[in-house]
């Protein structure tokens, strides 16, 4: 079978192609001369699989999209606290290249407008580093994200550097306000070099997928940045990534994104997919009209809005009441004089707080109500893909309380998602932890009751 996804991406491009409004960025002459017919899209899944269509091998400069990653590098090199002391996290409501600082703190509003991005750049490596050291650090880090060696487009760099008065103005403003400590002209030169790094849509989608995958590279499996940094970058992208169109973007398209004046948009839906679109003609805010249209189509067609509520929590808990019978002809109670029920609670999927709360509620409801007399409680994690920290804490607490109530608790946990022994400290009581259902049945059966069968499919 041929996957329908590449055909779908091609159809998305064909719908965006007739959009002819807008113009390429005029203030960098190389960008002003761009071939405006160019059009491309790519998706990178969090397991490293990439789909693309259109001019997917075409290289263009990252421009402002570099700001998102340089923010992560600054956090790594200077520490989050030092970065937050210098750069805010609020949308500015102004154009990206406005000479603006927050009133109370003198900090740039956020790392995705030029003032914040030049500051973030100045924090890479160390405050006294050279342009060359910072550029090398950024190129290496971005190349690791893209899984290939990236290069600076020197023609684009020269074109912007020869007329960088506004960014120079921002640099000197930052220096006067005590936000950057290095030579402002050097910080601006380094910043413009970072903007001139060339990528393709496939590179950008892959780079975004690292953010979506909590900082771990889907292909190499390497941790590129701490999960907290990936979350921080995605958060500022969600609120400030689309220039002063960020609020409308979040409401209508609904995933974190950063755009650049070369015509690219990089999008990221945590845990799912990295997205990139490219076409050079921009609207008055600096966002590529066709790239915006592509992202809107992808969001609507594939349900990529961050605020879409999912049904996952409702389908995570399955409850079964099993009467386990034992004996030679499978008609005797599972334990001498005991034909009481065994309650089986199964948890499915990637369980977070809402799923663990449903389990807690089900345990409370069933074991204080209709099945109060159940002689054993089986918690099955056989179909549990993962528990996040809070879900694990809630379930550990459930188990502790069941044991305190003198319940016979058996956990079927073949992949150790519960991590009972890693987390349960002290001399507290432990549940029986087994790998298979038949081991659980053997245990519940108890002595003299080995040949256990089951009712109701368990």
The residues that touch ligand GLU, with contacts defined as CB under 6 A, are 63-64, 96-97, 114, 160, 167, 195, 260-261, 286
In angstroms, the CA 197 to CA 296 distance is 26
Short-list 382, 388, 397, CA closest to 434 = 382
| Selected catalytic residue, list 191, 199, 253, 258 | 191
Short-list 263, 278, 277, 291, CA closest to 63 = 263
Q: Which is nearer to ligand GLU, 25 or 75 (CB)?
A: 25
Facing residues of 45 across strands?
273
| Selected catalytic residue, list 41, 51, 66, 67 | 67
| Selected catalytic residue, list 30, 100, 209, 243 | 243
Q: Which is nearer to ligand GLU, 97 or 316 (CB)?
A: 97
Which stretches of 270-313 are assigned E, i.e. beta strand?
273-278
We find the least distance from the C-beta atom of residue 156 to ligand GLU, in angstroms, to be 9
Facing residues of 269 across strands?
273
Q: Which is nearer to ligand GLU, 175 or 231 (CB)?
A: 175
Q: Which is nearer to ligand GLU, 199 or 434 (CB)?
A: 199
We find the least distance from the C-beta atom of residue 242 to ligand GLU, in angstroms, to be 10
Q: Which is nearer to ligand GLU, 218 or 241 (CB)?
A: 241
Q: Which is nearer to ligand GLU, 179 or 418 (CB)?
A: 179
We find the least distance from the C-beta atom of residue 294 to ligand GLU, in angstroms, to be 18
At 38, list the tokens.
């160019």
At 329, list the tokens.
């002809």
- Is 188 marked active-site? no
- Is 378 marked active-site? no
We find the least distance from the C-beta atom of residue 158 to ligand GLU, in angstroms, to be 13
Short-list 429, 453, 457, 456, CA closest to 442 = 453
Q: Quick check: helix, strand or coil at residue 230? A: helix
Phi, psi of 344 (to 5 degrees): -120, 125
| Selected catalytic residue, list 64, 196, 279, 356 | 64
In angstroms, the CA 398 to CA 104 distance is 47
At 204, list the tokens.
């950008």
Short-list 363, 375, 386, CA closest to 337 = 375
We find the least distance from the C-beta atom of residue 286 to ligand GLU, in angstroms, to be 6
Strand order, beta sheet including 40-45: 50-54, 40-45, 273-278, 264-269, 256-259
- Is 64 marked active-site? yes
Name the CA dihedral angle for 235, 238, 240, 241, rounded to a multiple of 10 degrees: 110
CA 55 to centroid of chain Cα atoms: 26
Residue given tokens 């892959």 in the structure block: 206
Q: Which is nearer to ligand GLU, 117 or 359 (CB)?
A: 117
In angstroms, the CA 20 to CA 185 distance is 38
We find the least distance from the C-beta atom of residue 138 to ligand GLU, in angstroms, to be 14
Residue given tokens 């290939």 in the structure block: 148
At 372, list the tokens.
């109060």
Which residues are catalytically annotated? 64, 67, 191, 243, 261
């Amino acid at each position: 079978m041929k996957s329908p996804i590449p055909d779908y991406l091609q159809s998305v491009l064909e719908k965006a192609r007739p959009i002819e409004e807008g113009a390429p960025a005029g203030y960098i002459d190389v960008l002003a001369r761009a071939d405006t017919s160019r059009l491309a899209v790519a998706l990178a899944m969090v397991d490293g699989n990439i789909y693309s269509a259109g001019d997917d091998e075409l290289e263009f400069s990252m421009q402002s999209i570099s700001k998102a990653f340089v923010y992560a590098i600054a956090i790594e090199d200077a520490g989050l606290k030092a970065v937050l002391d210098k750069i805010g996290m609020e949308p500015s409501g102004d154009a990206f290249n406005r000479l603006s600082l927050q009133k109370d703190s003198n900090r740039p509003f956020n790392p995705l407008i030029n003032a914040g991005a030049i500051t973030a750049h100045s924090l890479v490596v160390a405050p006294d580093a050279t342009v060359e050291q910072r550029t090398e650090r950024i190129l290496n880090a971005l190349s690791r994200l893209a899984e290939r060696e990236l290069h600076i487009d020197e023609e684009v760099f020269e074109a912007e550097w020869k007329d960088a008065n506004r960014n120079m103005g921002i640099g000197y403003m930052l220096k006067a306000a005590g936000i950057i400590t290095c030579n402002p002209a050097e910080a601006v030169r380094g910043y413009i070099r970072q903007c001139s790094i060339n990528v393709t849509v496939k590179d950008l989608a892959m780079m975004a997928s690292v953010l979506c995958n909590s900082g771990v590279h889907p292909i190499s499996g390497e941790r590129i940045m701490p999960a907290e940094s990936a979350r921080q970058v995605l958060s500022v992208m969600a609120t400030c990534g689309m220039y002063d169109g960020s609020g409308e973007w979040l409401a209508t398209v609904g995933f974190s994104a950063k755009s650049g004046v070369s015509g690219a948009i990089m999008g990221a839906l945590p845990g799912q997919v990295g997205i990139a679109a490219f076409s050079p003609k921009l609207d008055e805010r600096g966002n590529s009209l066709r790239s915006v249209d592509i992202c809107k189509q992808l969001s609507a067609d594939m349900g990529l809005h961050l605020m879409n509520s999912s049904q996952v929590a409702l389908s995570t808990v399955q409850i079964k009441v099993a009467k386990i019978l034992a004996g030679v002809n499978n008609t005797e109670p599972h334990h001498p004089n005991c034909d009481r029920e065994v309650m089986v609670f199964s948890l499915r999927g990637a369980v977070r707080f809402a799923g663990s709360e449903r389990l807690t509620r089900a345990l409370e409801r069933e074991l204080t109500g209709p099945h109060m007399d159940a002689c054993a409680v089986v918690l099955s994690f056989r179909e549990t893909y993962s528990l996040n920290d809070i879900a694990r804490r809630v379930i550990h607490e459930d188990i502790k309380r069941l044991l305190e109530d003198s319940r016979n608790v058996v956990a079927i946990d073949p992949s150790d998602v519960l991590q009972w022994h890693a987390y349960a400290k002290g001399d507290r009581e432990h549940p029986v932890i087994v790998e298979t259902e038949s081991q659980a049945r053997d245990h519940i059966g108890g002595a003299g009751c080995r040949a256990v069968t089951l009712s109701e499919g368990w």
